[in-house]
Structure 1
Amino acid sequence: MAVARTRSVALAGVAGHTVEVEADVGNGLAGFHLIGLPDTALSEARDRVRSAMVNSTYPWPDARIIVSLFPASLPKRGSQFDLAIAVAILGAAGVVPAERIAELFFLGELGLDGRIRPVRGILPSVLGAAKTGDATVVVPSGNAAEAILVPDVKIVPVAHLRQLVEWLRKGDDPPELEIEENVEPPRSTTSPEVDLADVVGQPVARRALEVCAAGGHNLWMLGPPGTGKTLLAERLPTLLPDLDLDHALEVTAIHSVAGVLPSNAPMMSRPPFVSPHHTATSAAIIGGGSTVVRPGAVSLAHRGVLFMDEAPEFPRHVLDALRQPLESGRVTVSRSAGSVTFPARFMLILAANPCPCAQPEDQGDTCRCSPTVRRRYLGRLSGPLMDRVDMKVTVVRSSRRELLADRQFVESSKTVAERVLAARERAAKRLAGTPWRTNAEIPSSVLNTNYRPGAAAMQPMTSCLDSGTLTARGLDRVIRVAWTLADLADKDSPEQDETNAALSFWLGVKS
């Protein structure tokens, strides 16, 4: 009997940390002791590992077994350590060569019959293992398609503990990857039939949507039911270009940790679209959990769209919780066990009715809400939150003539997406050599030094600053939108037409 070591990965948010798993099988009173700050699910590994080994025809050592997870100060959660614990015990008992397992990483949950079951968070776990350089990671066969997305890492898929032990004993080639080739990644989380051409009668709102897609800006739409607010928001993802590889890995890692990765493809190549119900809690929106901290809607919408329909119906503290991630592009969830940071760079789309009864005032004065009720209703959207919204559009009901006249001007999502892509490429070329790719990501300090429009273009905004109708944060938002409008117009820098249009969008325009 001896000591054997192997490695696994612990997740803290979407960051993977290497964990050394040591097993000591020695003399003493027979028993199993797991140390190293395990949670409840991990403490139950003893029974799963024992049954898996016995049912795979490998004897359970009748001795004192101590399994240590290092570093002990790092919290370890979940059942993905089962495989590493079993292999370490088998190595210490002499069933498999201890030197064969010392440099490998093992991830997977064990079934009582020895099957190796898939676990969530494989992609960020393999990314964490890749930091060590020249890593070889053993993963469940069901997670292999997700694991091979990480470059420069050798993936060994296994389906059963017996299959793994025989490979470790013989030292021959690892099991072959049996992954379906030419899998088409999911193009969008919305319906494939969705198209911007479906929205008729709202030309200004359609233009605002195009600007949002081109620059990554936030949008607020105010109007009665039936005016197309939800239709517009659902079509925004169809205007966005595919995710770059590094962004796709970020998004896929978050969805993998959350356990909501689409089953039809391992890689999310399209920007996500998340639309929580207005009864969602703060933990559901921001992220949280009593034991295991999960990413919330703001992180699931990373590099995509977070749509909050009926925004005033959300609790005010939930809405105000969006302010910090809108500024920083990440959210930190603090609990007694520690803090976890998730990325949260998203486009926020808010939709609201003008009052609780949602009846239009221009349709025979059917709205009976008093000015106080209307003010209190929209007041749930606080000033600091609205100050972080780049564009505001009021949509109204269109007449039959307006609907018929607008049909000849509507464009398909494909047509608008081409202009959006061209504008994004123009912005990316201008921002080459920086960590930013869209105008909405440029920080204020850089915006006002390197990308400040000329004096003539700034004149409309300086007038609003002097009158107090524009805040300093609002000024930054207007400049960013002006740059996006210039990119769409194929101009080298914003002129007064672009700054006037951007200022109108920030102050609020009627569609």
Structure 2
Amino acid sequence: MLIKTYSSAVYGIKATTITVEVNISSGTQYFIVGLPDNAIKESTFRIESALQSAGLRMPRQKIVVNMAPADIRKEGSGYDLAIALGILAASEQINSRRLADYLILGELSLDGGVQAVTGVLPIAIQARKEGFKGIILPNANAREAAIVDDLLVYGIDHITEAIQLLHDDKPFSPITVDTRAEFLQHVNHYEFDFADVQGQEHIKRALEIAAAGGHNVILIGPPGAGKTMLAKRLPSILPPLNLHESLETTKIHSVAGKIAATASLMTVRPFRAPHHTVSDVALVGGGGNPQPGEISLAHNGVLFLDELPEFKRAVLEVLRQPLEERQITISRAKLTVDYPASFMLIASMNPCPCGYYNHPDKDCVCSQANVQRYLSKVSGPLLDRIDLHVEVTPVNFQELVNEKRAESSSVIRLRVEKARRRQEERFKASEIHNNAQMGSKKVREVCSLSQAGQNLLKNAMERLGLSARAYDRILKVSRTIADLANSEEIELEHLAEAIHYRSLDRASWAG
């Protein structure tokens, strides 16, 4: 008897429906075809044990399982439940009448329990798009799928519950999530706040500018000056995610299996801080079945690279293209996937191996050659793509013991949101959302300078030896500073402040 059930595979952040065809005929062998990987081939043993534990039987006949389309590689254990229910229906142990209404996901344990899978959100979106009545999946993934409207979501813990659901043996209530209420309830709940940081007002100002325009930042300073503390608080002053950004971010984390069982929707901007031993594949994504890397997990949020010169040179260089294109394309022989990667890069580094070059109180023990060698670990093309170079100096004792509470993140965020609204209005006719995303043509249109401003920038470029890319970066930052000042024009003071944030272009840093 031939029975069809339906499951799904995820490639990139898009799902493809997989038809699981099960045919039982005379004979004794078991075949799974349709380019299954080892995890799927091993499902035979999990399914047989699960059926026995549930008081059901594995047919002792010839069983052929075809996973269509047969020319697409299938990976993972999430097809176990669909195959098991197909075998039960084909052997007439359960009623197959309602199987076509549902998309079925879940890994089976030997005792019949149903384990969590990944990529549930894009799968649920595709199931609704293709007209499925509902989706049957592990309870651990139910809330994640339930944020998709007009789709019945049934979470189960055991294969017997799936059978009861298909037989209507007992009433099952679908899992429901009020997406908008869930989003509004948890938006902008951040663990860290700028009010906890004493002093460092000029660093906070630079991070406010970065947040207002979506600019990349590098913090250069001695150990213990507060670089990491400040970086961790950057997401708290970014504008809150809108619902579209929240869904897009959640899809990426769903594919990577980063959504907790109790969560349904990501409501705060992600903050990713990979260790400096990270590989280039882990950073940008990849693998046989390409998975999102750290830059995609930081989409719509912040990627923090602490101790930047300690990262391998090859790892840092792969960032150059995503920083410009805001997406990453991973190509394999039979598959190409695109992952979004629109993130803010914030990096930190010591100015030299010992950490005390240019320190106001402590002497540096490094030679000029060592300082030069240390700084050169970060390539010029990468530094060109970082808009703000900020020197971080140690906090003095008086600032540390000051009992006056610093300005909170919520107050700073209001100014950032106001500047972002100006940018949204400016770019409403294009796909650009903030100043950092402007191309060279758009920079020329919206960043016009007075004659005095042109002279100032010309002198700065000649003295600092800036590249054409750095020229554009300065104009973008000065436009953001003007937006924060609620100014239609870029004034001299805005331009001068933007030029100030090119520390690593100055000859004094390299000796």
- Normalization by structure 2: what TM-score? 0.89
Worse-matched range after superposition: 467-476 or 325-334: 467-476
Worse-matched range after superposition: 124-133 or 352-361: 124-133
Q: Map residues 172-191 of structure 1 onto 2, 5 A cutoff.
A: 174-177=172-175
Residue among 104, 124, 135 paired with 2:122:
124
The structural deviation recorded for 1:389 is 0.2
Question: Alpha-carbon deviations, 1:365-413, whole Å to 9, x = none?
Answer: 6312111110110101101100100111112234446768x98794221
Letter in 2 for 1:17: T
Residue among 78, 81, 85 paired with 1:80:
78
* 2:490 is the alignment partner of 1:494: yes
The structural deviation recorded for 1:13 is 2.5
Letter in 1 for 2:438: I
Q: Map residues 94-493 of structure 1 onto 2, 5 A cutoff.
A: 94-133=92-131, 135-170=133-168, 174-177=172-175, 192=191, 194-289=192-287, 291-335=288-332, 338-362=335-359, 366-400=363-397, 410-449=406-445, 451-456=446-451, 458=454, 460-461=456-457, 464=460, 469-493=465-489
Contact 1:393 1:505 (C-alpha < 8 Å) held by counterparts = yes
Contact 1:39 1:77 (C-alpha < 8 Å) held by counterparts = yes
Contact 1:32 1:65 (C-alpha < 8 Å) held by counterparts = yes
* 2:8 is the alignment partner of 1:16: no
Letter in 1 for 2:148: V
Letter in 1 for 2:213: G
Counterpart CA distance in 1 for 2:344 and 2:139 is 36
**Residue ranges of structure 2 left out of the alignment (5+ in a row):** 507-511
The structural deviation recorded for 1:465 is 5.6
1:485 aligns to what SS in structure 2? Answer: helix
- Normalization by structure 1: what TM-score? 0.89
Contact 1:116 1:160 (C-alpha < 8 Å) held by counterparts = yes
Worse-matched range after superposition: 77-86 or 88-97: 88-97
Contact 1:11 1:76 (C-alpha < 8 Å) held by counterparts = no
Question: Alpha-carbon deviations, 1:88-139, whole Å to 9, x = none?
Answer: 2233223344442224211111122222222122112212323324552212
The structural deviation recorded for 1:469 is 2.8
The structural deviation recorded for 1:213 is 1.1
Q: 1:268–1:299: structure 2 CA closer, same or farther, 3 Å change rule?
A: same
Aligned to 1:505: 501
Question: Alpha-carbon deviations, 1:136-168, whole Å to 9, x = none?
Answer: 221212211111112332222222222222222
The structural deviation recorded for 1:316 is 0.9
Q: 1:149–1:435: structure 2 CA closer, same or farther, 3 Å change rule?
A: farther
Counterpart CA distance in 2 for 1:248 and 1:212 is 21
Q: 1:344–1:89: structure 2 CA closer, same or farther, 3 Å change rule?
A: same
Worse-matched range after superposition: 44-53 or 376-385: 44-53
Contact 1:140 1:157 (C-alpha < 8 Å) held by counterparts = yes
Worse-matched range after superposition: 239-248 or 372-381: 239-248
Counterpart CA distance in 2 for 1:175 and 1:227 is 55
Counterpart CA distance in 2 for 1:270 and 1:253 is 14
Contact 1:189 1:272 (C-alpha < 8 Å) held by counterparts = no
Counterpart CA distance in 1 for 2:129 and 2:465 is 50
Counterpart CA distance in 2 for 1:402 and 1:113 is 61
CA-based RMSD of the aligned residues comes to 2.9
Counterpart CA distance in 2 for 1:403 and 1:179 is 45
2:36 aligns to what SS in structure 1? Answer: coil
Question: Alpha-carbon deviations, 1:318-371, whole Å to 9, x = none?
Answer: 111111111111223344563433221111111111110112444566312111
2:348 aligns to what SS in structure 1? Answer: strand
Counterpart CA distance in 2 for 1:125 and 1:313 is 39
**Residue ranges of structure 1 left out of the alignment (5+ in a row):** none
Counterpart CA distance in 2 for 1:444 and 1:72 is 46
Worse-matched range after superposition: 52-61 or 42-51: 52-61
Question: Alpha-carbon deviations, 1:442-490, whole Å to 9, x = none?
Answer: 33344434x3425545554455567783323223322322232222112
1:155 aligns to what SS in structure 2? Answer: strand
Question: Alpha-carbon deviations, 1:474-511, whole Å to 9, x = none?
Answer: 2332232223222211223434432332233245699x
Letter in 2 for 1:470: L
Q: 1:149–1:183: structure 2 CA closer, same or farther, 3 Å change rule?
A: closer
Contact 1:200 1:407 (C-alpha < 8 Å) held by counterparts = no
1:102 aligns to what SS in structure 2? Answer: helix
Counterpart CA distance in 2 for 1:407 and 1:482 is 34
Give the paired residue count: 503
